[in-house]
Chains A and B, each alone.
Chain A
Amino acid sequence: MHVLTVPADLDSLDAVGKYVVEAASQAGLDRKAAYRLRLAVDEIMTNIINYGHTEVGLTGDVIVRAAIEADTLTIILEDRARPFDPRERPEPEDLDRPLEERNIGGLGVYLALKGVDHFNYEYVDQMNRNIFVMYRPLQA
């Protein structure tokens, strides 16, 4: 698929969502897997925008890539905000508590990391790379 470059702005979430849904469709993911992948990318993209850019007054682009291989669909988000590895964020511990008593943080990263088959992160050439991998169903 083509490479998508969008500004690190919440208005870009829609375009990224559509791109991921299209990639999932081309890769033949079922509806639930496609939804989980779209959610994962959307949550990490939201964090890149809010914490990597808006909060620190940084403007920049996010590059979205999709690669369909025999067994997998991989989506990669690349940005030049300060390094942040989502895997280092502690899992929420109070998921069973009533809402009014909960500390509502970290849910997006939690959903992202739980929702995909593999998640990877690397920081290369001053660039964050968030890598999402889903297995494709066996082709008939």
Chain B
Amino acid sequence: MAFTCTLTLNNEVAHITLAGELDAAVAPQFRAKIEEAAAAKVTRLVLFMSELEYMASAGLRSLAFAKQKMGANVDIYMVGVQETVAETITMTGFHNSVIMVESYDEA
């Protein structure tokens, strides 16, 4: 399935919804959304990933880029990550630096 990536900004929170297959060819689209969110000086980044079927390491590098661009104190939430994608996140230790949740409700 083709990759799609949409950003919405709500005050200081950025929501990015990822769907389809995230490989090195399309990772620049994700990175562009992260830069847009970073420019808006958000304090939290929420990634909705339940429709993301595949993620290569290029996606991981985009996340590291987000942390470095937005600052270490910006929390990154990952919502509804599929099991196979989660395995990659865990194998590379990225689960230590993000908050993985089943569902997300803005409190």
Residues of A within 8 A of B (CB): 10-11, 13-14, 17, 31-32, 35-36, 38-39, 42-43, 46, 49-50, 92, 95-100, 102, 104, 107-108, 110-111, 114
A110 vs B83: C-alpha distance when bound (angstroms): 19
Contact size class for B?
20 to 34
A79 CB to closest chain B CB (Å) equals 16
- Chain A residues in 8 Å Cβ range of B93: 95-97
Given A13-B24, A31-B84, A114-B91, A100 and B56 contact (CB-CB distance below 8 Å): no
A108 vs B24: C-alpha distance when bound (angstroms): 11
- Asked if B64 and A104 sit within 8 Å, CB to CB, the answer is yes
Interface of A is mostly: helix
- Asked if B21 and A17 sit within 8 Å, CB to CB, the answer is yes
- Chain B residues in 8 Å Cβ range of A92: 92
A42 vs B87: C-alpha distance when bound (angstroms): 16
- Chain B residues in 8 Å Cβ range of A95: 92-93
- Chain B residues in 8 Å Cβ range of A11: 25
A39 vs B21: C-alpha distance when bound (angstroms): 11
- Asked if A39 and B67 sit within 8 Å, CB to CB, the answer is no
10 A-B pairs besides A43-B57, A46-B58 with CB distance below 8 A are A14-B21, A14-B23, A32-B84, A38-B54, A39-B88, A43-B56, A46-B24, A92-B92, A98-B67, A107-B60
Per CB-CB distance, the 8 closest pairs between chain A and chain B, nearest first, are A95-B93, A10-B25, A99-B97, A108-B57, A35-B84, A107-B57, A99-B67, A100-B72
**B10 is an interface residue with CB less than 8 A from chain A:** no
- Chain B residues in 8 Å Cβ range of A13: 23-25
Among candidates A31, A36, A98, A110, residue contacting B97 with C-beta atoms closer than 8 Å: A98
Q: Which residue of A lies closest to B53 (CB)?
A: A35
- Asked if A10 and B88 sit within 8 Å, CB to CB, the answer is no
Tell me the residues in window 54-89 of chain B with beta carbons closer than 8 Å to chain A beta carbons: 54, 56-58, 60-61, 63-64, 67-68, 71-72, 83-84, 87-88
